[in-house]
Amino acid sequence: MQSRREFLRTAGAFAVSASLPLDRIEPELILYNGNIITINDRQPRAEAVAIAKGRFLAAGTNEKLQALATGNTKKINLEGQTVVPGFIDAHTHPAEAGLMHLRQVDCDLRSIAEIRNAISERASKTPAGDWVLGFKYDDTKTSDGRPLTREDLDAAAPQHPVYVSHRGGHTAYVNALGYERANVSEDTPDPAGGRFDRDPKTGKLNGRISERASEIFDKAIGANYSRADYREGVKLICKMMSRVGITSAHDAWGVHDYLRGYQDAHDAGELSTRIYCMMHYSEIDRMLAAGIRTGFGNEWIRVGGMKMAADGSISERTAWLSQSYVGRPNDFGIRVMTEEELYHNGRKAHEADWQIGTHANGDRAIDMVLRVYERLQRERPRRDPRFRLEHCTVVNDSLLQRIKSLGAIPTPFAAYVYYHGEKMREYGPERLDHMFALRSFLDAGIRVAPGSDYPPGPFEPMMALQSSVTRTDVNGNVWGPKQRITVEEALRTQTLHGAYASFEEHDKGSIERGKLADLVVLGRDPLQEDPFTLVKIPIERTMVGGRWVFGA
């Protein structure tokens, strides 16, 4: 939260003073009387921490740290509160989610009546005939026991075309005017790879559309965001992430508009979450032509790896699996890119020293992606490519071994068991023992770095903590208890491992001398908390680069 000029000045000042012993820099701030969980094995606990130039100068006992204070040092008594390193969300979509929050109706509501009201309220503030858009609707989360219909949306906004996308992003719901704008009538045939769903009784369009049918509506909606909209969206999502203790986020589907939005927000002093921006593979040629590669940028915004996708989603049950879905013997999910396509794009990036991250949920997709990575490494060995397997949901022993020997990094959903429990039945309890396999990854010595995938998954780190530790959903059902990990392990995956996944472990992920001063003050100690109430631990304050960005 500082201007570009100020940032360059302080970054420069640190670079100069870094050659001095750190204890000869005057601390600007000392936090003391804390219960500081450092995630640094050499010094796991501390009572106090000293900060200057946006970095930690030292961590240690109250006595030792107080001795560093000068007349200019500000001191804050933590009164026993718990401090952890800032959380790193290793797979999320901040710019995109920010735009959605800025322009669309949040339909993460618990009844159809509430959703109708929210749509209707937005319509009352929108010129008649303009689109009203909604997002984060989830058919399994409303109390009505039925999905949204076109009639619901007609009643909510008779003068507006309406389009409400499902939380998972692969289906959506429209009203009569929406169909009309997209030129879809009762006689329109289904598009390739998509469907206009119909009422089984009447055979009429019921408002739901799936998969690639959305492209027709995307065109009709023609969302035209201005440069300022991207910046505003980033500002908004940063506030949301700071409130829950996220200090760094990996954008897992970055495009040039997002990258510019992050930079604009930073220039305006509105970026409070550090961004590692993985670039969509369609952007790679332009990036290569500019000579840009993974790691380019600064401690606020960095170009990440190149991102591709191999299969479908977990929440909408389209992951590409070796064993069929429960109750659907012929359904093994969907592969979205071929091995040749992955290799062709991957080789360009690999040869130019880019990190590569590929979305792969099902075991078949993971197997295919690993084959591509293994081939790239065989043909052009690199010392430390840190290949990423985005989500990497369903694994087995042989996949784990291959991940370990490649040094690859899985970024599984850590909050899904808790939040999306009702969808787990279609994977079955046996398979759940090999899904979101945090225990297996850690036991195999793999540096797993979980991500939320927000909007599809919630991003609250405390929910990820409870989900990983208890493997219990919000209704008390247990899914895959063999994959439980401890609170301390979960904290490490959400901090230090996230830093490793972006080649920033020297700068982030633990509270130790020289690292960026990113931390979170918690209302209670997660190590002392009942595992079933971890999600309720309040986030009191969040600091990024030595400045409070929430709860100051």
Contacts to Zn ion by CB under 5 A: 252, 453
For residues 488 and 48, is the Cβ–Cβ distance under 8 A?
no
- Beta carbon of residue 388, minimum distance to Zn ion (angstroms, whole number): 12
For residues 516 and 506, is the Cβ–Cβ distance under 8 A?
no
- Beta carbon of residue 454, minimum distance to Zn ion (angstroms, whole number): 9
Q: Would you say the C-alpha torsion 473, 479, 480, 482 has a positive or negative sign?
A: positive
Distance CA 105, CA 120 (A): 10
Please give the angle made by the CA atoms of 440, 306 and 221, to the nearest 5 degrees.
110
- Beta carbon of residue 291, minimum distance to Zn ion (angstroms, whole number): 27
- Beta carbon of residue 357, minimum distance to Zn ion (angstroms, whole number): 10
**Coil, helix or strand at residue 134:** strand
- Beta carbon of residue 456, minimum distance to Zn ion (angstroms, whole number): 7
CB nearer to Zn ion: give 48 or 259.
259
CB nearer to Zn ion: give 38 or 92.
92
**Residue 172: both structure tokens together:** 């959506």
- Beta carbon of residue 428, minimum distance to Zn ion (angstroms, whole number): 24
- Beta carbon of residue 320, minimum distance to Zn ion (angstroms, whole number): 16
Distance CA 369, CA 487 (A): 31
For residue 102, CA distances in Å to 95, 97, 98, 167, 485 come to 10, 9, 6, 16, 36
Tell me the H-state helices in 222-355.
Answer: 227-243, 256-267, 284-289, 339-351
52, HSE (Cβ side, Cα atoms, 13 Å): 21
CB nearer to Zn ion: give 297 or 412.
412
CB nearer to Zn ion: give 87 or 459.
459
CB nearer to Zn ion: give 84 or 252.
252
CB nearer to Zn ion: give 453 or 529.
453
CB nearer to Zn ion: give 394 or 522.
394
CB nearer to Zn ion: give 32 or 281.
281
Return left, alpha or beta for 129; rule: phi > 0 is left, psi -120 to 50 is alpha, else beta.
Answer: left
Query: Quick one: DSSP state of residue 309?
Result: E
- Beta carbon of residue 100, minimum distance to Zn ion (angstroms, whole number): 14
**Residue 279: both structure tokens together:** 């670039």
CB nearer to Zn ion: give 97 or 252.
252
108, HSE (Cβ side, Cα atoms, 13 Å): 12
**Coil, helix or strand at residue 198:** strand
- Beta carbon of residue 151, minimum distance to Zn ion (angstroms, whole number): 32
CB nearer to Zn ion: give 138 or 453.
453
Q: Which residue has the tokens 């035209």?
A: 224
End-to-end CA distance of the chain: 13
Q: What is the side-by-side order of every strand in the sheet holding 388-391? A: 87-92, 246-254, 274-280, 301-309, 356-360, 388-391, 409-411
- Beta carbon of residue 253, minimum distance to Zn ion (angstroms, whole number): 6
Count, residues in the chain: 552
